[in-house]
A = this chain, B = another copy of it.
Amino acid sequence: MTESSTVPETTRQYHLAKRPTGEPDMDCFDLVEVPTPDPDANEVLVKTLYLSVDPYMRGRMRDAESYAEPWDVGEPMRAGVVGEVVESNHAGFEAGDVVVGNLLWSEYTAVDGGELTSIDPDAAPVSTALGVVGMPGRTAYFGLLDVAQPKPGDTVVVSGAAGAVGSVVGQLAREAGCRVVGFAGSDTKTEWLTEELGFDAAINYKTTEDLGEALDDATPDGVDVYFDNVGGEITDAVFGQLNVDARVAVCGQISQYNATELPTGPRKLGTLIEKRARVEGLLVGDFAPRFEEATERLAGWVADGTIQYRETVTEGFENAPDAFLGLFEGENIGKQLVKVGERSA
């Protein structure tokens, strides 16, 4: 066993206190203190440096059959974590290694080494393993390039464009020779998109009266590809502008996740006939055999400045629920992270 730094006797975790009805609030989260686990054979004790909060977690709080098991009430919630190995009973890791994995909302987690991936802390800030070169980046990569299949000259529209996934989608589309238009929820965000990320236009959906008209102005040649993270009224507006043979990649529907009744809206299938359009839902996990390809390319693009990124970092493990709830208010620019601990020197 290797060991480094002082491991505290107890560790804080968030457990799911109850399932939310509609918008989750602080009553859904239970901050508990448990004995720091001892790693078993083949296990590694990981100190959390960064914890990822993501919109998909709203689905895990629901007691409904889905592509993944729901979280159990009274049990720890799960999250993407970048951490430092502090004790290792696994041959592949030693104390001081920086790793990424799907762990717990916890300051320390013991986990089988087989569930962890080492990351090179000198290649890029370690937090990017949860964002631009992590799951959100890969989601953008496969969702845009494999599902939506943009061609040079296409007009690509992205909702949630200033988020962790959307901001990468837009830059990949720009690199693919497309005209790129983004929807985002503040002027700070839309300026970032157009002035720094090379979007051709961006629409602040919170201050725009008529989304359809604004989109019409921004997409004079119509919409060939729509990458949807948001759903609802933004998506209704985009469906009105689809070109023949348009492709819609449905990645997220954050505007609908807190609905207490089955959300309704215009029936859109008729549009698909007229436009021979294709709408396809995607989960990044289906592309697992090709994660390495995506990670390598994304890391290269980040290293050479082709892809820029931002992170919104909330300090302190105890503030993780706040960071999560802020996603539904659009408080983050780029990837929303929680900084939980510091690397040992």
Contacts and interface: CB of A to CB of B under 8 A. Distances in A.
B66 A267 contact: no
Contacts of A266: 262-264
A280 B281 contact: no
Contacts of A265: 264-265, 267
What is the interface residue range for chain A against chain B? 20 to 34
A271 to B, nearest CB: 7
Interface in A275-303: 275-283, 286
Contacts of A67: 244, 274
B281 A272 contact: yes
B251 A273 contact: yes
Contact of A269 (B273, B278, B281): B281
A252 interface: yes
Contact of A277 (B232, B273, B280): B280
In the complex, which of the residues A252, A269, A279 has the most CB atoms of chain B within 10 Å of its own CB atom? A269
Contacts of A252: 273
Given A228-B269, A271-B281, A276-B280, 20 more contacts: A231-B267, A231-B269, A235-B269, A251-B273, A253-B269, A253-B273, A256-B267, A262-B266, A264-B265, A264-B267, A265-B265, A269-B279, A273-B283, A274-B281, A274-B283, A276-B281, A276-B282, A276-B286, A277-B280, A277-B281
6 contacts: A231-B267, A253-B267, A253-B270, A263-B267, A264-B264, A277-B280
